Amino acid sequence: MRIICPVKRVPDTAAAKVLRPEDHTLDRDAGEAVLNANDEWAIEEAMRVKERDGAEVVALCVGPQQAQTTVRKALSYGLDAAIQVTDPALHGSDAAAVARVLAGALAAEDFDLVLMGNQSSDARTMLVPAMLAEFLDLPALTYAKRLDIDGRTLTVHRESSGGHVVVRADMPAVVSVVEAINEPRYPSFKGIMAAKRKPLDTRDLAAVGVGADEVGLAHSWTRVVDVSPRPTRQAGETVTDDGSGTVGAVALADFLSARKFI
């Protein structure tokens, strides 16, 4: 079995996000970058499959040259190899453009399962897994909180607002996971050292069959056209009830009505 784990370099979740004033894209060099936390759950699940059933696990990253440190971090968990697609034309790519590049990279690869996080901590669109499956014409089993593999059949307990839904599909398929699926391990010192020597195949857009006119800020389907700072928090209003509950109830109803909630 061969498993591909897409991973992403994102700003530290604890740090303030900075947008570039000239194009409103995220300034990824304004602070420390880390491996997307959601991808760690996917990596952990892939490693459990590898240890249980035997599998080759490969990381796949679309991002700037600096993202190589993120790829090496992914490798330190015990993955076998990595592919990185990097090209200046990728700057400003939206979810659809990134999914297209991932699909292009995967088109030349043999794989049984694409296992990825359900979202990135910087954009949180939760669109890339389904878009990737669409580009690859494969089943999409998203929001997985449990993954079972029986031969070539995947069974996923898919998280929903009312509990979970059980869905099945044959491999190859795209599966995205949520936090409830597992508890990621910490990379060992041996794994960190070994990651420096593991193969990393770097490719540009031409190598994955994607044109520069299909990606980037100018060719993405969506873009940020304007931004404004969050307004400062205003002092609240205190309503003192007379004990009957009427004053408070009326004040609450007026508050909700004025804001068109009721």
Higher pLDDT, 32 or 62: 62
Has residue 155 been placed in a domain? yes
Dist. CA 21–CA 30, nearest whole Å: 13
Average pLDDT over residues 11-20: 83
Within a domain: residue 126?
yes
Tell me the residue range of the domain where 13 lies.
Answer: 2-219
In this structure, what CATH number is given to the domain that contains residue 135? 3.40.50.620
Rounded distance, CA 215 to CA 192, Å? 33
Instruction: Give the tens place of pLDDT for each residue, 66-125.
Output: 999 999 999 999 999 999 999 999 999 999 999 999 999 999 999 999 999 999 988 889
Residues with Cβ within 8 Å of 215's Cβ and at least 6 positions away in sequence, in order, are: 87, 89, 90, 93, 97, 98, 100, 101, 205
Give the least confident one: 109-113, 117-121, 132-136, 161-165: 161-165
Asked if residue 238 belongs to a domain, the reply is no
For the entire predicted model, the pTM comes to 0.86
Inside any domain, residue 206: yes
Q: Tally the domains of the chain.
A: 1
Residue 255 lies in a domain: no
What confidence tens digit (pLDDT) does each residue in 137-154 have? Answer: 999 999 999 999 999 999
Domain-located, residue 190 = yes
- In this structure, the number of other CB atoms found within 10 A of the CB of residue 232 comes to 5
pLDDT at 29: 80
Beta-ladder partners of 35: 9
224 part of a folded domain: no
243 found inside a domain = no
